[in-house]
Amino acid sequence: QKEVEQNSGPLSVPEGAIASLNCTYSDRGSQSFFWYRQYSGKSPELIMFIYSNGDKEDGRFTAQLNKASQYVSLLIRDSQPSDSATYLCALSTNTGNQFYFGTGTSLTVIP
């Protein structure tokens, strides 16, 4: 069983602050890591993906991967109320034939 663990939250941050979302996983064979955003009643929307150890930045978002410690995180700088959503961590193994999702972390950005 490939577990993907996320703190369900809710996580509340004030507008303009940095939101930090964390995810740990159990399978060391995991190769590719993804962060999706899901608004209530909507489908998952890709935010970031990362394959190598280290940081990857895209606008206000930074994904961090540490395969030795088996965690991946997402930082959201200058958080906006529109960032309020559930953030899903997902990974795939070397076959790439399926994604394993965490339960998601609910983020609320307070104006």
Q: Summarize as ranges the residues that interact with another protein (CB under 8 A).
A: 31-32, 34, 36, 42-46, 49, 88, 90, 92, 94-104
Spatial separation of the C-alpha atoms in residues 41 and 29, rounded to whole Å: 32
Minimum CB–partner distance for residue 10 and another protein (Å): 14
CA atoms within 13 A on the CB side of 2: 17
Task: Give the Cα-Cα-Cα angle 98, 75, 8 (nearest 5 degrees).
Answer: 60
Minimum CB–partner distance for residue 5 and another protein (Å): 11
- For another protein, the closer of residues 37 and 73 by Cβ is 37
Q: Answer yes or no: are the C-beta atoms of 70 and 25 closer than 8 Å.
A: yes
Minimum CB–partner distance for residue 32 and another protein (Å): 5
At residue 36, what is the residue type? Y
Minimum CB–partner distance for residue 52 and another protein (Å): 13
- For another protein, the closer of residues 17 and 56 by Cβ is 56
- For another protein, the closer of residues 46 and 110 by Cβ is 46
Spatial separation of the C-alpha atoms in residues 37 and 30, rounded to whole Å: 21
